[in-house]
């Protein structure tokens, strides 16, 4: 990535002069690999050079990772400017569109590094959410933003809770409107789909609020509580009103009944006459069936009787025979009345569908709003908000004119330059927010410059509500309002010409949804490349097995495993894939910058799939060949066997009767007990397994493995409720020698991954412990929740820089990544999963709010009135599909390999790329001896180094006894009660000495009593001595610091008093005091005594 | 021996003090220190310099210690009381809907204290204040600002009206008094700019007695040269600076003093830190500081060090809310609030601090017993339900009764904070928690804190609801810390601010990345920096400057420092602290050394302390146990047989080892409940109506509906969502009746349902089970099994002979002529029969079963070779360990 950049002036690149000129607002549409980050960061450098303060710059990008990379790049460059020689700096600046480079500019460039690093406030390079968080924390107090909220990153558990709470509320009021609606939905769609529908509604709540906002400008619809209930209801009513108008539904009419009236009789009979006339037997029969259906039924039943006769189950008109004119019949005369009849029925059917749609919306919106309220309420109670709330709240705040303005003042940073990266991934609400921000900035007369980079071709985040169409809108807006310049860039630094040929070949023809496409050119025109589309894997249809086999022979499960069920085309493809990967690593070479030609390695290969569904198959093939790979499997870390092992062990530690968990722990590499061990325990039929293990450990029948397990488990059991989870886990990892044992048990290609996963698990525990109110049961419950929450599961451990493994990603995950070799798997699959049961939206990107919002169910319930929305959606989805392909292809630096299975399909990715390809040689298949990655050896554990042994250091002090504590307190009391500087206020004294209230009384009495004793007055009553002081520190010749409890000076002698409050007296200590004081009070006699708490004064001679 | 830098510094100070005060009695001098750790080195420096057998030392203390010794005229109003008053004021004003008023009150108090400390008096008139804000914000007046002004202004006056003495004011009074009484010479050690109140104090003091300031920033130019040039000098030109440094301080390179280590990820950083500490220990270093900018890593480091038996003493504290003693407290309140939701209850009972008057073994026994019952009977909550469950179990009864008693104590709905605390304490006593906590250092401190708060708030009359009180308590637990003093070690964990003027043999600066150094405070919710500056309050700038100075002081005082940070985190780059980055850049330029620690990385691989020397396990491989006779079952059910066919190892684990998953308490209706209920409904229905033909459709329909309603009733009562399942079934009713009538029309009559059977196959093996239903036609019979599953899946199950054995087994038992699954789906009910000759199929299956069992008895192995489909939901995957075979 480091050197990817826009081609400097003079090449075919675009105008960097203009793009980087800090005075202009700029919109850049730039293709993949063209160095957008380079451009953006360069622009920041130019801003800084133009005396812009870091705090005046706001750069927003799509992921935290991108933000971090940007920041790192910026630091690197500024560092370069600070330390580079003149020529370097000049070169650097010239590349970034600066020509007149005088000394002053050089000087300035050099100073940027320090100014930037130490600037206050610093630059803001962030994601939208990061920036929103900053805003919301500073939101005006009166903006109705709940104060003191924290960000909720995982919502699954809370959504589940909301769902339960909603269900409970329905149970409590089974007659309520919501409960009735719910009942209706259940009956129509079942539990699963109903929930999916309502959850989707909740998911789209920002849009819902935006849609209904004009109607309910209440303080904060998002805070959902009590009084908003009516507002929520109002919103539903309003939305239904809109929908009713749009669907043109008359709630009181029943079109089916209306249809059955006599006015349609003629139409029917006109057709039946044609049907019967010259008709075949079946036609005549059908004709009379139709007529009967009319005459035999009451008007309100006629429609429903006739409909199935004239329409298929899929609601298609029946036009085949017998409803097809035969040669004996006159075509027009037959078809016209048929079509008229069917059209009239269809109209009724459509009207009914719309009615149904409206009814569904009425029920589902009502329930959805109620569910939403529960969800919001729960978050409010926990003082949390999620990303959507955050976005909405920010939008709301900034839409309140005065608040928006106030925010301009309130943030310490005042942005004068806004840079937006990956703009195609922005959603309408985010754009709304930016617009409000700009407007407010303009109102306080500091309109920023805006710099936008993006690539609508790479917009693939529709499911996160991003809308690529915004790009065009925004471009126009900025051109118009900010006089922005629009630039395009289609030269890439990343891809080889071979890869680009394929990209150009596919997109030149403007596939689905593309309206223009500019051919890409390669900057590295010499980079060898290769694109290969492998033949589709197809499966010979297996002979249908002879079912009526006279002789049934059944498989013996002990000796013969069952054949894997779906040994199909996909498995063949996977085979093909794994074989080729092995070949590739053996025989291909790639070009690495700074290294030159070298052997291809596993880590050079990035494998892309569109969805994870079939990953298992491909992984299996890799594993069979021992090819190391990393994958982001659904389910993630917690579903890996090693993480399950740890969870099982922890579960056992708090529920010792969990036998299966114990058995799993025993079988895991941690204890690596054999099945013989398990069977031994199983044979002892009494009590739980833990008890049995204890028994066999005691009676000496346990194997070494079981003994070890017993010892360790015993000790962990006793710690499980005392140690924090992380500390407990650390004990387990350490005492169980976990890392080494897993490494020994696992095949080499899994080691790194498993090791990383074990660490990642530890990190989760560490984080949980840092949270509030940790406990082991809670930790395990949290893990269960995490596991249940599909998309929110924690990542598997990411291995550091050093691993040589092939990586498998979904195309979505691959965004922003690149690799020398990219393999596109399963590329012949054209099935797209569309959401049934969801929210239908029409939110034109420049509109402040959606123009349409309704819910839909399965295909049949969608109706005609909303068809154009569905169509638009579908087209957009197709376009996104092509965008995905674009992203996938452009990840490849040198080679792109495509494979798939099944019947050839021109519209599939496989088909499209194959069509765009001309045969050529593979220049990568050349030998190179350079290997940068040595094959990983199992780490040898070498002996003798001192760092492999414990160094006992430090000690734990014993918990002080009550007696000791009392002693300390009494000591402290005396110190403060004895003059000088007596503290006489009892409560102050108590606080000062940290004495608990219940202990104070007795101690106080004792101290007072002691000080009042007559024979001690000489030492405690100022009238008797010249001077005294308490707690007097001195240092002796050896540099040791000592403290004397009380030193009393008389005219000719000095007394050293040592309070004895329990511990045994040490006369030697006192002698030391005396010697020291003799040195100080030369000429005076120094005497010393122990003062016991009963008043005894014991002089030491 | 060469002197350490720190000795030189302290020597200078000692000479300065001794120049003013004649030894051996230095008691008249007062030395203000940043912390008490500095006493020792300074005293030693004095002793060295004076070179006498003994010295009576100056008064050496921190400013806080000093002011604390000044008696006050009146009592200080504790912050707990102020917060309660403020809360009450906020509540009464109804300004903030839905907000956490305790949070706002806390922020406000902090602001009010700052205003006091910096002697900011707000203008009398709110409008004037607003004007002040307007100017500071450089903004036009607007509603939001007006509101902010109003809140602060009004509450400031409200809180000040009482004239009570709060801690900030008390401190002010004391400082004033100290300055008034000043008579002894004062020496002050500083490392960064003093805060305004301190500056004022010293100014006042200096009017009466001499004040000498030792500023670390100005001492020892040599040690400071590079860091100072990098971070404090106003010079922007790095190259010139480097040249200058090289010329004027050729020996100032930090090469031997400071190293930087960038790690990949948390574990590596922690490991590196741990190894470095051990290297230092091995090199004989006696006093090692771990300065924890990142607490998470510090915790990890501490655990790793403990592996090597290096204990770490901890000067920093842990927030009470992160300690298990507080967990217990909150879990108790959770349990109360959720009416003893089983997870809360069990979590509570598993705490080692509860029922501390009991033998821990017994206590645990009781919890485990209870948990087993709860899981078995699926009781989700309600104390009474648990009590019912524990009928006749004395141990459990006692425990639960104690919970009930304790709950009663906390039964009220609103009282004062001290009332709540009192009740809490009473409930904790009943539960034996007080005893448990008292035996734990953190617990004792928590109890002490609770008691203190209760006393402080004793007179506060404000009443709070239970929820308000809980929020309060949570906030208190967040705001207070516990520090563990029980470890004495040369390796200590500390914070940057606590290292002022301290020197160590070696320092490890942990988590030195841009996020943690400088650490950001989130800022107060009030105003912004510009406004704060105008008002005279410290700004973020000051906060950062202090951290920078602390870092510089650390580098100046210490000759061996290693800073670590995570260069990458989860594959994302992570920046080094800008301070260190700057320093590194300058140092590299000036002295050609980028300060990177290069040895350590290579050491890490092999520098693990291992606890065990037991033999490492062999490579994992597919297990193939052969089973001793005693474990071979005498009985097998159809589902057991299915498991045996699917994967012998699975069967082995389930039926030979007899391992089962734990029961989970299920709270909602699940698919399998649905299946069971439908079975029950159909059984009842057919018992009543063996022949449908004889009845009117309407009667059947109604009867089936009413039976369904009855069976579902308990679930529906408990869970609204059960209705959805009921509806789903109801939708299948017409189809079911149709199908049944059709079947009757074909001559099949219901004969029997839910038929248990036991059939000896061999002397050693019995087939057992329960058949859903048997129909008859003339002499012929047909076994049927209800499945809530779509027809296609059932077809597939039956496609390959012998892979699903259920129907074949039943057919064998009943000598049936036909067998089928009844697939019941929404509006579709179909019978699906195996596509093979049934008697033959049954025969073959039974023959295979007996043959396989004979082989097992002969010691045949039970391989774990299930196909992926079987493994996908197999609970034994942790035993066979398929995922890790080579
Ligand atoms: S996971 Fe698969 S192989 Fe292992 S026991 Fe279960 S079914 Fe058999």
Q: Do B147 and A174 touch (CB under 8 A)?
A: no
Q: Is residue A153 very low, low, confident or very high in pLDDT (cuts 50, 70, 90)?
A: confident
| Residues B625-682 pLDDT 10s | 999 999 999 999 999 999 999 999 999 999 999 999 988 888 888 888 999 999 999 9
Rounded to an integer, the average pLDDT of B210-223 is 85
Q: How close A200 gets to chain B, by Cα (Å)?
A: 18
Give the per-residue pLDDT at B36: 93
Query: Residue A466 in 3-state DSSP?
Result: coil
Q: Residue B657 Cα, ligand 1 centroid: separation in angstroms? A: 14
Contacts 24+ apart (CB under 8 A), A837-840: A837/A189, A837/A193, A837/A196, A837/A197, A837/A200, A838/A196, A838/A197, A838/A200, A839/A200, A839/A201, A839/A203, A839/A204, A839/A207, A839/A208, A840/A866, A840/A869, A840/A870, A840/A873
pTM of the model: 0.92
Structure tokens that stand for A952 in this block: 């006992």
Q: Is the pLDDT of residue B325 over 60?
A: yes
Chain A partners of B836 at a C-beta cutoff of 8 Å?
547-549, 552
Q: Do B53 and A1076 touch (CB under 8 A)?
A: yes
Sign of the torsion formed by the C-alpha atoms of B105, B108, B113 and B114: positive
Q: Do A655 and B662 touch (CB under 8 A)?
A: yes
Q: Do A950 and B308 touch (CB under 8 A)?
A: yes
Contact A969, A993 (CB under 8 A): yes
Q: How close A1008 gets to chain B, by Cα (Å)?
A: 19
Query: Residue B215 in 3-state DSSP?
Result: strand
- The residue that leads in pLDDT, A286 or B221, is A286
User: Can you list the alpha helix ranges (DSSP code H) found in A99-176?
Assistant: 103-117, 128-137, 156-172
- The residue that leads in pLDDT, B473 or B528, is B473
Q: Is residue A625 very low, low, confident or very high in pLDDT (cuts 50, 70, 90)?
A: confident
Q: Is residue A942 very low, low, confident or very high in pLDDT (cuts 50, 70, 90)?
A: very low
Give the per-residue pLDDT at A329: 83
Q: Do B307 and A730 touch (CB under 8 A)?
A: yes
Contact B677, B711 (CB under 8 A): yes
| Residues B365-417 pLDDT 10s | 999 999 999 999 988 889 999 999 999 899 999 999 999 999 999 988 899 99
Give the per-residue pLDDT at A793: 54
Closest of A607, A563, A613 to residue A892, by C-alpha: A607
Q: Tokens 């529960």 belong to which residue?
A: A374
Chain A partners of B77 at a C-beta cutoff of 8 Å?
none
Q: Do B330 and A773 touch (CB under 8 A)?
A: yes
- The residue that leads in pLDDT, A2 or A1070, is A1070
Cis peptide, bond prior to residue B518, ω within 30 of zero: yes
Cis peptide, bond prior to residue A980, ω within 30 of zero: yes
* Pocket of ligand 1 from Cβ distances under 6 Å: B 647, 649-650, 864, 866, 870-871, 874, 876-877, 880, 882
Rounded to an integer, the average pLDDT of B278-297 is 94
Helix (H), strand (E), coil (C) string for A473-509:
HHHHHHHHHCCCEEEEECEECCCCHHHHHHHHHHHCC
Closest of A650, A654, A642 to residue A726, by C-alpha: A650
Best residue of B324, B492, B811 to probe chain A, by most A CBs closer than 10 Å = B324
Contact B394, B358 (CB under 8 A): no
Chain B partners of A770 at a C-beta cutoff of 8 Å?
295-296, 299, 322
| Residues A976-988 pLDDT 10s | 888 887 888 888 7
Rounded to an integer, the average pLDDT of A471-496 is 91
Structure tokens that stand for A1078 in this block: 């003799």
Q: Is residue A3 very low, low, confident or very high in pLDDT (cuts 50, 70, 90)?
A: very low
B774, β-bridge pairs: B752, B783
Sign of the torsion formed by the C-alpha atoms of A543, A548, A551 and A553: positive
Closest of B862, B636, B376 to residue A678, by C-alpha: B862
Rounded to an integer, the average pLDDT of B323-333 is 93
Q: Is the pLDDT of residue A938 over 60?
A: no
Mean pLDDT, chain A, integer: 86
Query: Residue A179 in 3-state DSSP?
Result: helix
Distance separating the N- and C-terminal Cα atoms of chain B: 59
The CA distance from B307 to A1085, in Å, is: 55
| Residues B551-572 pLDDT 10s | 999 999 999 999 999 998 877 8
The CA distance from B76 to B65, in Å, is: 17
User: Can you list the alpha helix ranges (DSSP code H) found in B457-604?
Assistant: 466-479, 529-535, 540-557, 578-591, 599-604
CA distances, A350 to each of A39, A79, A356, A572, B230 (Å): 54, 68, 10, 47, 77
Q: Do A1076 and B39 touch (CB under 8 A)?
A: no
From the list B528, B630, B659, the residue facing A660 with the nearest CB is B659
Give the per-residue pLDDT at A632: 67
Q: Do B25 and A72 touch (CB under 8 A)?
A: no
pLDDT above 90 coverage of chain A, percent:
43
Per DSSP (E only), the strands in A343-385 are 384-385
Q: Do A951 and B878 touch (CB under 8 A)?
A: no
Q: Do A186 and B322 touch (CB under 8 A)?
A: no
Give the per-residue pLDDT at A567: 64
Best residue of A41, A87, A114, A768 to probe chain B, by most B CBs closer than 10 Å = A114
Q: Do A798 and B571 touch (CB under 8 A)?
A: yes
**DSSP sequence for B821-868:** EEEEETTEEEEE--SS-HHHHHHHHHHHHHHHHHHHHTT-B------H
Pairing of strands B491-494, B288-292: parallel
Q: Is the pLDDT of residue B80 over 90?
A: yes
- The residue that leads in pLDDT, B283 or A513, is B283
Ligand 1 atom at minimal distance to the Cα of residue B871: 2
The CA distance from A32 to A888, in Å, is: 10
Structure tokens that stand for A950 in this block: 């414990």
From the list A65, A168, A953, the residue facing B572 with the nearest CB is A65
Chain A partners of B731 at a C-beta cutoff of 8 Å?
187
From the list A676, A724, A1080, the residue facing B56 with the nearest CB is A1080
The CA distance from A871 to A503, in Å, is: 27
User: Which residue of chain B is at minimal alpha-carbon distance from A724?
Assistant: B324
Q: How close A740 gets to chain B, by Cα (Å)?
A: 7
Count other Cβ atoms within 10 Å, centred on residue A701: 11
Chain B partners of A220 at a C-beta cutoff of 8 Å?
97-98
Rounded to an integer, the average pLDDT of B131-137 is 88
| Candidate from B876, B881, B883, B885 with most ligand 1 atoms within 8 A of CB, to mutate | B876
Helix H or strand E segment including B733: helix B722-745
Q: Do A1039 and B60 touch (CB under 8 A)?
A: no
Give the per-residue pLDDT at A215: 60
Q: How close A641 gets to chain B, by Cα (Å)?
A: 7
The residue nearest atom 5 of ligand 1, judged by CA position, is B650
Q: Is residue A944 very low, low, confident or very high in pLDDT (cuts 50, 70, 90)?
A: very low
Best residue of B25, B318, B477, B721 to probe chain A, by most A CBs closer than 10 Å = B721
Contact A639, A842 (CB under 8 A): no
Rounded to an integer, the average pLDDT of A656-684 is 96
| Candidate from B643, B646, B864 with most ligand 1 atoms within 8 A of CB, to mutate | B864
Give the per-residue pLDDT at A550: 54
Closest of A467, A481, A410, A488 to residue A439, by C-alpha: A481
Contact A168, B175 (CB under 8 A): no
Give the per-residue pLDDT at B154: 92
Rounded to an integer, the average pLDDT of B583-592 is 93
Structure tokens that stand for A395 in this block: 């939008």
Contact A556, A541 (CB under 8 A): no
Q: Is residue A2 very low, low, confident or very high in pLDDT (cuts 50, 70, 90)?
A: very low
Q: How close B358 gets to chain A, by Cα (Å)?
A: 16
A599, β-bridge pairs: A589
| Residues A158-210 pLDDT 10s | 898 999 999 999 999 989 999 999 999 999 999 999 999 999 999 999 999 99
Q: Is the pLDDT of residue B468 over 70?
A: yes
| Residues A814-825 pLDDT 10s | 888 899 999 999
From the list B71, B144, B727, the residue facing A985 with the nearest CB is B71
| Angle formed by the axes of helices A331-381 and A265-276, nearest 10° | 130
Ligand 1 atom at minimal distance to the Cα of residue B870: 7
Give the per-residue pLDDT at B252: 81
Structure tokens that stand for A498 in this block: 């071979």
Interface ipTM: 0.95
Q: How close A277 gets to chain B, by Cα (Å)?
A: 38
The CA distance from B623 to A310, in Å, is: 63
For A317: left if phi > 0, alpha if psi spans -120 to 50, otherwise beta; the answer is beta
Closest of B580, B588, B585 to residue B551, by C-alpha: B580
Give the per-residue pLDDT at A466: 83
Give the per-residue pLDDT at A1065: 67
Q: Is the pLDDT of residue A845 over 70?
A: yes
Pairing of strands B54-56, A1085-1092: unpaired
Give the per-residue pLDDT at A975: 87
| Residues A30-75 pLDDT 10s | 999 888 889 999 999 999 999 999 999 999 998 888 999 999 999 9
The CA distance from A140 to B239, in Å, is: 46
Chain B partners of A115 at a C-beta cutoff of 8 Å?
236
From the list B44, B268, B324, the residue facing A1039 with the nearest CB is B44
Q: Residue A558 Cα, ligand 1 centroid: separation in angstroms? A: 13
Count other Cβ atoms within 10 Å, centred on residue A102: 8
**DSSP sequence for B455-470:** HHTTT---EEEHHHHH
Per DSSP (E only), the strands in B378-469 are 414-416, 463-465
Chain A partners of B841 at a C-beta cutoff of 8 Å?
552
């Amino acid at each position: 990535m480091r050197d990817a950049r826009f081609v400097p002036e003079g090449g075919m690149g675009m105008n960097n002069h203009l793009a980087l000129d800090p005075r202009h607002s700029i919109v850049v549409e730039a293709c993949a690999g063209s160095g957008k980050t380079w451009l953006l960061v360069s622009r920041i450098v130019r801003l800084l050079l133009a005396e812009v303060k870091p705090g005046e710059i706001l750069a927003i990008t799509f992921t935290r990772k991108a933000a971090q990379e940007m920041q790192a790049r910026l630091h690197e460059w500024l560092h370069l400017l600070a330390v580079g020689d003149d020529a370097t700096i000049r070169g650097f600046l010239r590349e970034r569109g600066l020509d007149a480079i005088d000394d002053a500019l050089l000087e300035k460039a050099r100073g940027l590094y320090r100014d930037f690093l130490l600037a206050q406030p610093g630059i803001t390079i962030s994601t939208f959410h990061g920036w929103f968080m900053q805003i919301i924390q500073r939101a005006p107090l009166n903006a109705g933003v709940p104060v003191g909220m924290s960000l909720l990153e995982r919502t699954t558990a809370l959504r589940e809770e909301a769902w339960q709470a909603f269900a409970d509320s329905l149970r409590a009021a089974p007659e309520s409107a919501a409960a009735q609606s719910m009942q209706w939905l259940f009956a129509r769609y079942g539990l699963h789909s109903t929930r999916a529908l309502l959850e989707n509604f909740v998911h789209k709540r920002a849009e819902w609020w935006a849609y209904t906002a004009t109607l309910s400008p209440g303080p904060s619809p998002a805070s959902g509580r009590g009084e908003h209930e009516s507002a929520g209801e109002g919103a539903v009513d309003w939305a239904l009103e809109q929908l009713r108008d749009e669907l043109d539904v008359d709630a009181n009419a029943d079109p089916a009944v209306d249809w059955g009236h006599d006015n349609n009789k003629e139409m029917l009979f006109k057709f039946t006459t044609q049907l019967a006339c010259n008709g075949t037997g079946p036609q005549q029969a059908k004709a009379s069936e139709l007529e009967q259906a009319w005459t035999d039924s009451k008007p309100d039943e006629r429609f429903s009787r006739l409909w199935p006769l004239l329409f298929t189950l899929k609601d298609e008109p029946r036009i085949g025979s017998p409803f097809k004119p035969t040669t004996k019949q006159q075509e027009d005369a037959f078809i016209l009345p048929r079509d008229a009849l069917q059209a009239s029925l269809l109209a009724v059917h459509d009207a009914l569908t719309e009615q149904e749609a409206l009814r569904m919306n009425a029920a589902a919106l009502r329930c959805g709003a109620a569910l939403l309220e529960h969800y919001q309420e729960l978050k409010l109670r926990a003082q949390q908000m999620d990303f959507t709330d955050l976005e909405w709240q920010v939008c709301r705040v900034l839409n309140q004119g005065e608040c928006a303005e106030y925010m301009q003042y309130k943030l310490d940073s005042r942005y004068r330059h806004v840079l937006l990266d990956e703009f195609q991934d922005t959603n309408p609400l985010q754009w709304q927010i930016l617009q409000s921000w700009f407007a407010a900035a303009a109102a306080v007369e500091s309109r920023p410059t805006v710099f936008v980079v993006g690539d609508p071709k790479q917009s693939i985040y529709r499911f996160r509500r991003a809308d690529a169409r915004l790009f065009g809108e925004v471009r126009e807006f900025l051109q118009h309002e900010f006089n922005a310049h629009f630039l395009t860039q289609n030269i890439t630094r990343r891809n080889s010409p071979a890869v680009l040929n394929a990209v150009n070949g596919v997109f030149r023809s403007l596939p689905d949804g593309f309206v223009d496409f500019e051919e890409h050119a390669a900057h590295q025109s010499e980079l060898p490349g290769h694109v290969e589309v492998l033949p589709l894997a197809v499966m010979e249809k297996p002979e249908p097995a002879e079912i009526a086999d006279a002789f049934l022979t059944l498989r013996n499960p002990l000796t013969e495993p069952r054949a894997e069920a779906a040994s199909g085309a996909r498995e063949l493809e996977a085979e093909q894939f794994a074989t080729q990967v092995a070949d590739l690593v053996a025989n291909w070479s790639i070009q690495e910058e700074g290294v030159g030609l070298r052997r291809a390695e596993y880590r050079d290969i990035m494998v892309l799939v569109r969805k994870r569904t079939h990953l298992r198959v491909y992984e299996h093939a890799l594993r069979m060949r021992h090819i190391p790979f990393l994958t982001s499997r659904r389910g993630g870390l917690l579903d890996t066997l090693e993480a399950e092992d740890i969870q099982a062990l922890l579960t056992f530690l708090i529920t010792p009767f969990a036998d299966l968990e114990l058995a799993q722990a025993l079988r895991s590499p941690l204890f690596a007990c054999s099945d013989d061990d398990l069977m031994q325990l199983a044979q002892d039929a009494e009590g739980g397994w833990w008890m049995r293990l204890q028994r066999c450990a005691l009676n000496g029948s346990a194997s070494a493995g079981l003994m070890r397990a017993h010892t360790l488990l015993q000790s962990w059991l006793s710690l499980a409720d005392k140690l924090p989870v992380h500390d407990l886990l650390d004990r387990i990892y350490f005492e169980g020698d976990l890392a080494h044992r897993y490494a020994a048990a696992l095949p080499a290609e899994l080691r790194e991954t498993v090791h990383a996963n074990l660490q990642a698990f530890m990190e989760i525990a560490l984080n949980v412990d840092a949270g509030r109110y940790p406990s082991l049961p809670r930790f395990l419950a949290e893990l269960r929740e995490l596991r249940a929450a599909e998309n929110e599961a924690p990542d598997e451990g990411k291995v550091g820089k050093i691993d040589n493994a092939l990586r498998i990603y979904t195309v979505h995950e691959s965004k922003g990544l690149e690799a020398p070799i990219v393999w596109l798997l399963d590329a012949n699959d054209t099935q797209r999963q569309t959401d049934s049961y969801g929210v239908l939206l029409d939110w034109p990107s420049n509109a402040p709010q959606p123009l349409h919002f309704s819910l839909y169910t399965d295909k049949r319930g969608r109706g005609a009135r909303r068809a154009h929305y569905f169509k638009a959606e579908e087209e957009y989805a197709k376009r996104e599909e092509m965008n995905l392909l674009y992203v996938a292809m452009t990840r490849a630096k040198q080679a792109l390999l495509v494979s798939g299975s099944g019947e050839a399909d021109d519209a599939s990715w496989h088909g499209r790329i194959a069509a765009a390809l001309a045969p050529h040689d593979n220049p990568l298949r050349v030998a190179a001896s350079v290997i940068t990655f040595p094959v990983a050896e199992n780490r040898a554990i070498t002996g003798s180094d001192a760092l492999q042994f414990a160094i006992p250091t430090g000690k734990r002090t014993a918990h002080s006894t009550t007696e000791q504590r009392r002693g300390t307190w009494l000591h402290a009391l005396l110190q403060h009660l004895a003059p000088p500087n007596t503290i006489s206020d009892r409560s102050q004294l108590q606080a000062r000495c940290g004495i608990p209230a219940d202990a104070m009384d007795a101690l106080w009495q004792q101290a007072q009593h002691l000080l009042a004793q007559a024979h001690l007055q000489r030492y405690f009553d100022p009238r008797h001595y010249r001077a005294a002081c308490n707690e007097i520190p001195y240092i002796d010749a050896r540099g040791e610091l000592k403290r004397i409890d009380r030193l009393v000076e008389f005219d000719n002698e000095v007394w050293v008093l040592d309070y004895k409050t329990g511990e045994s007296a040490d006369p030697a200590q006192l002698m030391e005091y005396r010697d020291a004081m003799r040195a100080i009070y030369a000429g005076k006699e120094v005497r010393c005594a122990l003062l016991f708490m009963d008043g005894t004064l014991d002089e030491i001679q | 021996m060469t002197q350490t830098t720190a000795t030189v510094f302290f020597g200078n100070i000692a000479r300065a003090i001794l120049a003013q005060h004649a030894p051996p009695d230095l008691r008249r001098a007062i030395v203000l220190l940043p912390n008490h750790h500095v006493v020792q080195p300074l005293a030693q420096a004095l002793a060295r310099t004076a070179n006498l057998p003994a010295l009576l030392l100056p008064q050496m203390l921190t400013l806080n210690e000093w002011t604390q010794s000044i008696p006050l005229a009146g009592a200080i109003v504790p912050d707990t009381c102020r917060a309660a008053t403020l809360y009450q004021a906020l509540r009464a004003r109804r300004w903030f809907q839905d907000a956490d008023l305790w949070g706002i009150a806390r922020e406000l108090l902090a602001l009010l204290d700052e205003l006091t400390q910096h002697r900011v008096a707000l203008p009398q008139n709110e409008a004037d204040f607003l004007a002040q804000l307007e100017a500071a914000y450089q903004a036009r007046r607007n509603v939001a600002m007006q509101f902010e002004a109003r809140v602060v202004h009004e509450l400031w006056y409200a809180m000040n009206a009482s004239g009570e003495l709060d801690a900030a004011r008390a401190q002010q009074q004391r400082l004033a008094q100290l300055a008034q009484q000043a008579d002894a010479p004062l020496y002050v050690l500083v490392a960064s700019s003093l805060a305004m109140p301190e500056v004022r104090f010293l100014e006042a003091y200096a009017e009466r007695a001499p004040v000498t300031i030792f500023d670390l920033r100005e001492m020892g130019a040599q040690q400071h040269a590079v860091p100072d040039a990098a971070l404090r000098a106003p010079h922007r030109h790095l190259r010139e600076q480097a040249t200058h440094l090289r010329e004027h301080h050729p020996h100032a390179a930090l090469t031997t003093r400071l190293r930087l280590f960038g790690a990949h990820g948390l574990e590596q950083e922690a490991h590196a830190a741990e190894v470095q500490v051990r290297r230092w220990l091995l090199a004989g270093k006696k006093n090692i500081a771990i300065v924890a900018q990142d607490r998470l890593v510090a915790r990890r480091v501490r655990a790793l060090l403990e592996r090597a038996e290096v204990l770490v003493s901890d000067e920093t504290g842990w927030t009470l809310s992160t300690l298990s003693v507080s967990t217990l407290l909150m879990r108790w309140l959770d349990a109360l609030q959720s009416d003893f939701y089983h997870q809360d209850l069990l979590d509570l009972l598993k705490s080692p601090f509860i029922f501390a008057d009991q033998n821990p073994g017994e206590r645990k026994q009781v919890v485990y017993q209870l948990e087993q019952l709860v899981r078995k009977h699926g009781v989700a909550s309600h104390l009474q339900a648990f009590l019912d469950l524990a009928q006749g179990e004395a141990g459990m009864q006692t425990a639960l009764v104690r919970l009930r008693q304790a709950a009663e104590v906390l039964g009220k709905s609103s009282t004062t904070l001290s009332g709540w605390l009192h009740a809490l304490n009473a409930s904790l006593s009943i539960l034996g928690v007080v005893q448990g906590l008292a035996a734990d250092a953190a617990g004792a401190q928590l109890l002490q804190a609770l008691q203190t708060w209760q006393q402080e708030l004793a007179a506060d009359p404000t009443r709070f609801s239970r929820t308000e009180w809980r929020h309060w308590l949570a906030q208190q637990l967040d705001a207070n810390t516990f520090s563990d003093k029980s470890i004495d070690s040369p390796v200590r964990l500390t914070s940057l601010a606590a290292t002022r003027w301290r020197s160590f043999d070696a320092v490890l600066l942990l988590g030195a990345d841009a996020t943690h150094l400088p650490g950001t405070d989130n800022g107060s919710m009030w105003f912004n920096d510009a406004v704060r500056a105008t008002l005279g309050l410290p700004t973020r700038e000051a906060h950062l400057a202090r951290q920078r100075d602390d870092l510089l002081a650390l580098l100046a005082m210490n000759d061996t420092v290693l800073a670590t940070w995570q260069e990458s985190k989860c594959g994302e780059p992570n920046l080094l602290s800008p301070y260190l980055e700057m320093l590194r850049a300058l140092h590299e330029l000036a002295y050609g050394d980028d300060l990177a620690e290069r040895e350590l990385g290579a050491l890490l691989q092999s520098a693990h302390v291992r606890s065990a020397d037991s033999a490492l396990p062999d490579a994992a491989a597919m297990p193939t146990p052969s089973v001793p006779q005693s474990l071979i079952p005498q009985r097998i059910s159809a589902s057991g047989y299915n498991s045996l066919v699917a994967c012998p190892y699975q069967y082995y684990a389930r039926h030979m080892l007899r391992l089962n998953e734990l029961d989970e308490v299920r709270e909602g209706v699940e698919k399998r409940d649905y299946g069971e209920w439908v079975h029950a409904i159909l059984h009842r229905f057919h018992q009543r109506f063996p022949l449908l033909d004889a009845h009117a459709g309407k009667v059947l329909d109604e009867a089936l509906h009413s039976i369904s309603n009855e069976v579902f009733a308990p679930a529906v009562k408990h869970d609204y969502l059960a209705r959805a399942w009921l509806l789903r079934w109801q939708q299948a009713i017409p189809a079911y009746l149709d199908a049944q009538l059709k079947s009757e029309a074909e001559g099949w009559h219901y004969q029997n349902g839910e038929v248990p059977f036991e059939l000896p196959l061999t002397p050693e093996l019995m087939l057992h089970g329960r058949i859903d239903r048997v129909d008859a036609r003339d002499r012929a019979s047909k076994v049927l099994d209800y499945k809530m599953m779509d027809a296609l899946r059932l077809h597939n199950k039956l496609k390959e002979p012998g892979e699903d054995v259920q129907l074949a087994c039943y057919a064998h038992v009943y000598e049936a002529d036909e067998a089928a699954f009844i697939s019941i789906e929404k509006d579709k009910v179909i019978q699906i029969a195996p596509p093979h000759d049934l008697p033959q199929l049954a025969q073959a299956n039974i023959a295979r079963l007996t043959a396989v069992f004979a082989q097992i008895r002969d010691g045949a192995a039970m391989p774990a070779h299930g196909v992926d489909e079987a493994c996908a939901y197999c609970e034994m995957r942790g035993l066979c360990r398929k995922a890790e075979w080579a």
